[in-house]
Amino acid sequence: MKVFIAGASGQVGSNCMKHFKEMGWDVVGSHFSFPTDATVFYNTLEHGHPDNYDIAAYGPDVIVHCGAMTHVDYCETHPDESYINTVQSTINLAGVAQGCSAKLVYISTDYVFDGVDGPYREDAPVNPLNVYGRHKLEAEQTALKEIPNALVLRVTNVYGREIRGRNFVARIVEQCRNKQKLTLKLPYDQYASPTNAWDIARAMFVLLRDAKQGIYHIGGTDYMNRVELALRVLQYFPGAEYELIPISTAELKQPAARPLLGGFIKMKFSSEYPDMLFGNVDSFMKELLDI
């Protein structure tokens, strides 16, 4: 299997590239704004960029779209940029996939739901509350429309190993290791299914191996709010100095509305792969700290 991963210097993309290579696949991963020694340059918004990697010459069987603008509030106040980076980039990669006769994989989110009746199964009605969610929904619909055998993985609250350590869990770990005092003002009413990027890579591998298509929800075994997530990590650093301020989403006054009861029920995936066990925050922390 030959796989091109757009956005492979990011968290999900880098984990996918590592796992796929370990499983013996031929993989090329790209970066745009954050270069690494393991990735090539590719601008999904400018096919004719002189420095773009030649995807057509590589001839992938699969193109995985992991690049994204994930700052929800920025998307809300910059909808044109959000559209370009989320929807237009998907339209462009779908065109490349068509030219290569390749399958397209799109990474989506639980923000396509309104958070009233979560956690969600794949057949739940979508109703995004903000620009980010609307554009992610439009992008996944584009992928499914343009590439008949496309695969959409909805994920949420992703954490795990990554070069930049930008995810929520990694930032807490880094500050604790550096003995910095943490001040955390976190919503107690936003629930989701924190998911290890490594589990996403493992799930994507078997789905691609078995030529699956359509929408799959991928989530860890935890279901918790942001306060509980922070405390779960902090318990591994008993000497950490921190101030944790639980607050309602309404009090945060964020530009973009948030789905409160988000997260997933991954019954579809688990029914097809009952032997695949997903991790949780505790298993990740124990592995990270070699406990």
Is residue 217 within a helix (H) or strand (E), and if so which, with residue range?
strand 214-217
CATH 3.40.50.720 fits 2-160+193-222+262-272, yes or no: yes
* pLDDT digits 0-9 by tens, 162-174: 888 778 999 999 9
* pLDDT digits 0-9 by tens, 31-75: 998 889 999 999 999 888 999 999 999 999 999 999 888 899 999
pTM of the model: 0.95
* pLDDT digits 0-9 by tens, 234-278: 999 999 999 999 999 999 999 999 999 999 999 999 999 999 999
What average pLDDT does range 116-142 have in this prediction? 97
Query: Do the domains 2-160+193-222+262-272 and 168-189+224-261+280-288 sit in the same CATH topology, yes or no?
Result: no
The residue with greater pLDDT, 154 or 164, is: 154
The two beta strands, 151-155 and 40-41, are unpaired
SS3 state of residue 97: helix
* pLDDT digits 0-9 by tens, 217-231: 999 999 999 999 999
Task: Give domain limits for the chain.
Answer: 2-160+193-222+262-272, 168-189+224-261+280-288
The two beta strands, 224-225 and 191-192, are antiparallel
Residue from 66, 80, 192 nearest 131 by CA: 80
Report domain 168-189+224-261+280-288's class: alpha beta
